[in-house]
Amino acid sequence: MGRTEELRRRDKAVLWHPFTQMADWEKDDPLVMERGEGNYLYDTDGNRYFDGVSSLWVNLFGHGRKEIDDAIRAQLSRLAHSTFLGLSHPPAIELAERLLAVAPPGLSRVFYSDNGSTAMEVAIKMAFQYWRQKGEGEGKKTFLTLSEAYHGDTIGSVSAGGIDLFHKIFRPLLFSTRRAPTPHCYRCPYGLSRPSCALRCADMMEETVRASADSLAAVVVEPLVQGAAGMLMMPEGYLSRLRAVTRERDVLLVCDEVATGFGRTGTMFACEREGVAPDIMAVAKGLTGGTLPLAATLTTEEVYGGFLGRYEEFKTFFHGHSYTANPLGCAAALATLSIFEREDVHGRVSRLSAVMSKSLEAIARHPNVGDIRQLGLMAGIEIVASRRTKERFPPERKVGQRVARKARERGVILRPLGDVIVLMPPLSSTQREIEDLVAVAGWATGEILSEETSGGGRPTDRAIP
Ligand SMILES: *Cc1c(COP(=O)(O)O)cnc(C)c1O
């Protein structure tokens, strides 16, 4: 047995992979990755693959980026970890200062944790406890969330989530939230055309906040892009109106920038694009450039102040993790921020984003491509059985998965969300790599759809342009 075969056999004997149907995995020939260099991953047979989803949205500047790796090594030679409960350390202090310097105005405090889910868990508990301790906020106990939201996989973040496929089964374990429909105008929740949909969604959101402000601790959203839902884009103006009405009615705004943060959309944080500064903001994924698990929840002096008091009042924020503010992660994050300072990352993303839009035009013509959504270097290609009715292929056809699998034959790693093909290349991609990525995604989509629409599959309305 070859080495790769042997590794696959051992993997299948002992492992359980996240978000993976292991019965399928056991029948498959999964890739075993051994090395990363720049925007590419290399498997144990030495094959090279373009990292088309930035290793699940975390990688910013490629693998093995020297400045980040060196910073981790240097920190490792000093201190790998010491607790943050009652002690501090230089990289965490410096990182907090530098994060706040690039964060939206008004954010002035940093609470560390280890991943996006816990950063959101912290955000939710922080908002809740803040109102409990504020006096006039007794009634403010619930959260207004969006349908199709994704905030992570721990029970609190799942409670704020709205993707039935991931979340429904856990419903008996979850706290209930108020839910507003996602402002997604390709499938408008009110059945309206695009411009009317955008307005109606924002109007309804405002109305809901005004009507329920006394019971709301916070509104929780992924600003501009609901990533895990399939790259659903908020219409322009929605977020800024939400900010205005939450300010007006004294409801906290929590922005989950875990996916959108650190340049992915063309600005440091997505909420900047609408001039929005949240009361609480969660960051993770790109924070360390895709090297180490570290997360942070940022908040204002106002929220922070609500936790100050005499020791015996127990207004303490009772939350923390063994690896809170891990120094290696902080060092990696500092090196990541330095790259943003030295290089014109946002300019680069904006140029690459235009290249991506241009390349995507060719795919948009395919009769089974229902919608293409893109902001910066985050894009989703939604495949539908019928463009006219927007009907989806049945899940057992596994169209999205098959497209991703097909793309491997041309050396590209993709990970779809249902039948939405996600493209989220590293910010360090070249123009050529972006063009190739889109071309491969288009080719793979075409191949699978022709299998699907000739034998085996079901008829589609191919004639409709
Ligand atoms: C990925 C993601 C999370 C969860 O982050 P993890 O580090 O995977 O726990 C939370 N919110 C959003 C918007 C995400 O994309």
pLDDT band at 377 (very low <50, low <70, confident <90, very high): very high
Cα(315)–Cα(160) distance, rounded to whole angstroms? 24
Residue whose CB lies within 8 A of the most ligand 1 atoms, among 151, 232, 294, for a mutation test: 151
pLDDT at residue 462 in the model: 41
Q: Among 112, 231, 233, 285, which is best to mutate for testing ligand 1, by the most ligand atoms less than 8 A from CB? A: 285
- Full domain range(s) for residue 404: 31-64+345-452
The tokens for 256 are 């989950």
Ligand 1 close to Cβ of residue 140 (< 6 A) = no
**How many Cβ atoms are within 10 Å of 146's Cβ, its own excluded?**
26
Which CATH number goes with the domain that contains 256? 3.40.640.10
SS3 assignment, position 19: coil
Atom number of ligand 1 nearest to Cα 285: 7
Question: Which amino acid is located at 236 in the chain?
Answer: E
Q: Are 315 and 135 in contact (CB under 8 A)?
A: no
> 116 C-alpha vs ligand 1 centroid, how far in Å?
4
- Is the per-residue pLDDT at 454 higher than 90? no
DSSP state of 38: B
3-state secondary structure of 265: coil
Q: Which atom of ligand 1 is nearest to the CA of 295?
A: 7
| 300 and 412 inside one domain | no
Distance of CA 186 to the CA centre of its chain: 20
Report the pLDDT value the prediction gives residue 164, as an integer from 0 to 100: 83
Q: Which of 450, 260, 429, 412 is nearest to 349 (CA)?
A: 429
Domain count, the chain: 2
Same domain, 289 and 179: yes
Which of 153, 255, 258 for mutating ligand 1's site (highest number of atoms within 8 Å of CB)? 258
The finding on whether 228 has its CB within 6 A of some atom of ligand 1 is: yes
For ligand 1, whether the C-beta of 290 sits within 6 Å is no
Report which ligand 1 atom has the smallest distance to the Cα of 228. Answer: 15
- pLDDT per residue as tens digits for the range 242-283: 999 999 999 999 999 999 999 999 999 999 999 999 999 999
Query: Is residue 58 located within the same domain as residue 93?
Result: no
Q: Which of 256, 259, 262, 434 has its CA nearest to residue 339?
A: 262
Does residue 147 lie in a domain region?
yes
| Distance from the alpha carbon of residue 398 to the mean position of ligand 1, in angstroms | 24
Structural domain contains residue 4: no
Domain end residue (candidates: 320, 342, 364): 342
The answer to whether the beta carbons of residues 87 and 76 sit under 8 Å apart is no
Site to substitute for ligand 1 among 17, 59, 113, 120, most atoms within 8 A of C-beta:
120
Mean per-residue pLDDT, 343-371: 97
Same domain for 309 and 269?
Answer: yes
Nearest alpha-carbon partner for 134 in 298, 247, 299, 303: 303
**Residues 294 and 407 grouped into a single domain:** no
219 Cα–ligand 1 center, Å: 17
Query: How is residue 187 annotated by DSSP?
Result: G
Asked if pLDDT for residue 166 goes beyond 90, the answer is no
CA of 258 to the centre of ligand 1 (A): 5
Domain termination site, one of 342, 374, 393:
342
Two tokens, residue 93: 């202090």
Could you tell me the pLDDT band of residue 455, with boundaries at 50, 70 and 90?
low
Q: Which residue, 203, 224, 318, is CA-closest to 278?
A: 224
CA distances from 229 to 44, 147, 163, 332, 400 (A): 32, 9, 7, 29, 14
Do 98 and 121 belong together in one domain?
yes
pLDDT average, residue stretch 22-42: 97
What pLDDT was estimated at residue 208? Answer: 98
State the average pLDDT for the chain. Answer: 95
User: What percentage of the chain has pLDDT greater than the value 70?
Assistant: 98
d(CA 245, CA 206): 6
Q: Is residue 262 part of a domain?
A: yes
Rounded to the nearest whole angstrom, what is the distance from the C-alpha of residue 454 to the centroid of ligand 1?
38
Q: How far apart are CA 44 and CA 349, in angstroms?
A: 31
Nearby residues of 446 by Cβ (< 8 Å), 6 or more positions away:
366
Q: Does the Cβ of 146 fall within 6 Å of ligand 1?
A: no
Atom of ligand 1 lying closest to residue 154 CA:
9
Model confidence at 137: pLDDT above 90: no
Residues 39 and 425: beta-carbon distance below 8 Å? yes
Ligand 1 touching residue 39 (CB < 6 A): no
Does residue 385 sit in the same domain as residue 405?
Answer: yes
List, for residues 409-440, the tens digit of each pLDDT value: 999 999 999 999 999 999 999 999 999 999 99
Gap from CA of 345 to ligand 1 centroid (Å): 22
For 101, the 3-state DSSP assignment is helix
Indicate if 273 and 294 belong to the same structural domain: yes
Interacting residues of 76 by C-beta distance below 8 A, sequence separation 6+: 328
Amino acid at 271: C
**Same domain assignment for residues 402 and 324:** no
User: Does residue 465 fall inside a structural domain?
Assistant: no
Residue 1 lies in a domain: no
Residue nearest to atom 8 of ligand 1 (CA): 116
Q: Give nearest CA residue, ligand 1 atom 5.
A: 116
- 128 and 255 inside one domain: yes
Is there an atom of ligand 1 within 6 Å of 150 CB?
Answer: yes
CB count within 10 Å of CB 213 equals: 18
* Domain membership flag for residue 44: yes
Q: Kindly report the CATH number assigned to the domain that includes residue 60.
A: 3.90.1150.10
Q: 234 lies in a domain? A: yes
Backbone φ/ψ region at 209: left (φ over 0), alpha (ψ -120 to 50), beta: alpha
Same domain, 57 and 129: no
Is there a single domain that holds both residue 158 and residue 282?
yes
Q: Is residue 245 part of a domain?
A: yes
Give me ligand 1 centre to Cα 259, in Å: 6
**Residues 394-422, mean pLDDT to the nearest whole number:** 97
Question: Strand 48-51 and strand 40-43: pairing?
Answer: antiparallel
